[in-house]
Structure 1
């Protein structure tokens, strides 16, 4: 993944790993700040549960359905669960503007203002793609 790929990408395929080593890919929105990628997700999602046990991830640029184009590099990295979601939420809201608010506001209303979410900070391995 080059800087150009990330600059134009709307989605990344975030692969987390089960106990048996099987990868589970999920297309997610992301934002880049400095050398890290930030993802904002529900705290009770399976990807968060898997990351609590194993912080290894693989990241690839994909489309909204999670389809990865042939020849797209897969980048290994590690994900860190962040207690403070405000910075990641702000970065993602800035990147996805009205789409983010269209999903976030109704969800907040249903949950009476509570946002049980977790932010992920993903650091890609400097060695590069696999």
Structure 2
């Protein structure tokens, strides 16, 4: 079922969103100073191509630089990307068939709002950043 949803998603909105994020990533790489944002754009582009079966989690080992970068990203691009995903999600949720795709847009809001310090993991992986050391 996830594969079917991903293929339909790819046709109707995933390809266009991924191309937009990839273009933004290329621009960020050309500007050199914004390479960390370019890496985040390519990561989001991959998530935009195939969102069903994956989820976004926070990396607890991300430092203060990720927080500062997220504030810059939020002001420059994050708020506009999040608004776009919210509006697309609402428009997809108008029909019953489009509800899963609207939910996929809503799932992309946190990573488009603040992409640094986050990772995209398969949904089967419960806690990717947690590693039990064997002691309490």
TM-score band by shorter chain is under 0.3
Which structure shows the higher helix fraction? Answer: 2
Structure whose residues are more often strand by fraction: 1
Higher relative contact order (CA 8 A, sep 6+): 1
Q: TM-score, normalised by structure 1?
A: 0.27
